[in-house]
């Protein structure tokens, strides 16, 4: 258990302390309250909460521009489909550390798993917001009205089980925070099994999200539709997740510098350097696959159209260019260039997922869908709330800093 000054209480002293008082004490805000992030995020979160109440009170149509013809909008295209791709760093990093035994990434395992777990938790909440009848959320899980052989049934179960697996992976940090030595030992013993289970689920549900769009062949623009969407979703989740790791890690190095040991500070640039190489290779595979599909389907005639220009913008400006930047930055060990490439890659993933689920979805319809300001506000509120909780956990639990001595290795 950690005291307010950052020190840990010895295990024999834990029984004398009041756990609930400790937790309530930890709920108190720490640090400056009037920071630029707080000033911007708090009004948006409050406004988002009000809009969510209106949404459940008066129905989904009261704050969104969704219709029976366009049932999936920003909350699915960005909050869920895009967000799950960004959470892919968790399964990639845990695979490298626990399966490939690449200990150089050990210091970022917990923060990456935390980021992935919170992402899935909040995107599940966003999915609940998007359902016209939220009480029917149980249907995909039990197979009601869909059948147990449907893609949605598989995605729902993969989503649910993967959140549980990530919670188990992160739980040793919670046990260390509470000073629960015995619980920490038990939970640590479950970590490897949870990692293997989670990696298996990730490969399935990352591609499963893409498989959902296989049923919309007549609705998605031909430049973005192919039978290989599931594979593309899976491959892109690798560099999307690692780009998020680079981006989030670079910010954490500044914001939470007091939580990070000097050793891990020094290792940070080497980690980014290695991740840039993995991103470059994964993006090369993704770009090559897209080119092969494009040539095989003979889509040359679609390029000289407005949607064709938009497709080229995505593929050349936000896949090929950041891929080359990753290659260059890896060879020259240019950390700044790695960070720039990661931001461009993240922008490219957002663009790709929105092109498939929103922009290129029913692109030839007379009336196009545009998200309302209220949809955008709720999305920002979800993101800001996730960041608040992420920050709260980082400042209190041994995520970036070293674990207490009694816990041993992670």
Q: Which domains does the chain have, with CATH numbers?
A: 34-400 (1.20.1630.10)
Measure Cα distances from 403 to 53, 255, 410 in Å: 40, 19, 8
Structure tokens that stand for 321 in this block = 């260019």
User: Residue range 345-366: average pLDDT?
Assistant: 92
Residue keyed to tokens 């190489």: 277
Q: What single DSSP character describes residue 376?
A: H
Q: Are 315 and 287 in contact (CB under 8 A)?
A: yes
104-113, 205-214, 342-351, 401-410: segment of lowest average pLDDT: 401-410
pLDDT in tens, 188-235: 999 999 999 999 888 888 888 898 899 888 899 999 999 999 999 999
Q: How far apart are CA 402 and CA 162, in angstroms?
A: 26
User: Residue range 105-111: average pLDDT?
Assistant: 93
Q: Are 379 and 125 in contact (CB under 8 A)?
A: no
Q: Report which of 144, 322, 175 is spatially closest to residue 246, judged by C-alpha positions.
A: 322
Q: Are 259 and 395 in contact (CB under 8 A)?
A: yes
pLDDT in tens, 234-264: 999 999 999 999 999 999 998 898 888 888 8
Residue keyed to tokens 């260039």: 337
User: Residue range 115-144: average pLDDT?
Assistant: 81
pLDDT in tens, 52-96: 999 999 988 899 998 888 888 898 889 888 989 999 999 999 999
407 band by pLDDT with thresholds 50, 70 and 90: low
pLDDT at 389 over 80: yes
Q: What is the mean pLDDT of the chain?
A: 87
Provide the pLDDT for residue 362: 86
pLDDT in tens, 156-174: 888 889 999 999 999 999 9
User: Residue range 313-328: average pLDDT?
Assistant: 96
pLDDT at 5 over 60: no
pLDDT at 356 over 70: yes
| Total-model pTM | 0.89
Q: How far apart are CA 37 and CA 13, in angstroms?
A: 38
pLDDT at 382 over 50: yes
The percentage of the chain sitting over the pLDDT mark of 90, rounded to a whole number, equals 56
* Cα Dmax for the chain: 75
pLDDT at 385 over 70: yes
Provide the pLDDT for residue 63: 93
Provide the pLDDT for residue 67: 84
CB-neighbour burial class of residue 349 (10 A; exposed 0-12, middle 13-18, buried 19+): buried
């Amino acid at each position: 258990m950690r005291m307010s000054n950052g020190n840990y209480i010895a295990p024999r002293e834990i029984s004398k302390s009041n756990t609930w008082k400790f937790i309530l004490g930890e709920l108190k805000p720490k640090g400056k309250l009037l920071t630029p992030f707080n000033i911007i995020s708090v009004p948006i979160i409050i406004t988002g909460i009000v809009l969510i109440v209106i949404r459940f009170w008066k129905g989904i149509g009261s704050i969104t521009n969704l219709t029976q013809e366009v049932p999936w909008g920003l909350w699915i295209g960005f909050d869920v489909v895009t967000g799950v791709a960004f959470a892919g760093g968790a399964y990639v990093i845990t695979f490298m550390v626990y399966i490939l035994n690449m200990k150089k990434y050990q210091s970022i395992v917990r923060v990456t798993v935390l980021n992935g777990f919170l992402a899935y938790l909040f995107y599940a909440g966003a999915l609940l917001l998007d359902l016209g009848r939220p009480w029917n959320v149980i249907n995909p899980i039990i197979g009601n009205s869909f059948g147990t052989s449907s893609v949605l049934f598989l995605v729902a179960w993969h989503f649910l089980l993967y959140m549980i697996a990530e919670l188990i992976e992160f739980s040793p940090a919670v046990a260390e925070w509470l000073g629960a030595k015995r619980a920490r030992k038990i939970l640590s013993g479950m970590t490897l099994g949870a990692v293997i289970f989670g990696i298996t689920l990730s490969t399935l549900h990352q591609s499963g999200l893409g498989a959902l769009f296989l049923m919309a062949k007549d609705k998605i623009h031909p430049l973005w539709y192919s039978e290989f969407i599931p594979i593309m979703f899976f491959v892109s989740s690798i560099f999307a997740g690692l780009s998020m790791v680079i981006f989030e890690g670079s910010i954490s190095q500044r914001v939470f510098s007091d939580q990070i040991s000097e050793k891990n500070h020094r290792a940070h640039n080497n980690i980014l350097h290695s991740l840039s190489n993995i991103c470059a290779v994964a993006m090369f595979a993704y770009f090559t696959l897209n080119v092969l599909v494009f040539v095989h389907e003979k889509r040359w005639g679609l390029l000289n159209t407005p949607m064709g220009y938009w497709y080229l913008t995505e593929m050349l400006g936000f896949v090929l260019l950041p891929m080359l930047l990753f290659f260059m930055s890896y060879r020259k060990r240019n950390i700044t260039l790695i960070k720039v490439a990661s931001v461009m890659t993240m922008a490219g993933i957002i663009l790709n997922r929105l092109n498939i689920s929103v922009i290129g979805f029913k692109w030839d319809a007379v009336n196009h869908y545009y998200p309302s300001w209220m949809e955008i506000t709720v999305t920002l509120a979800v993101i800001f709330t996730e960041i608040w909780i992420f920050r709260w956990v980082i400042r209190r639990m041994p995520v970036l800093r070293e674990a207490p001595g009694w816990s041993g290795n992670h």
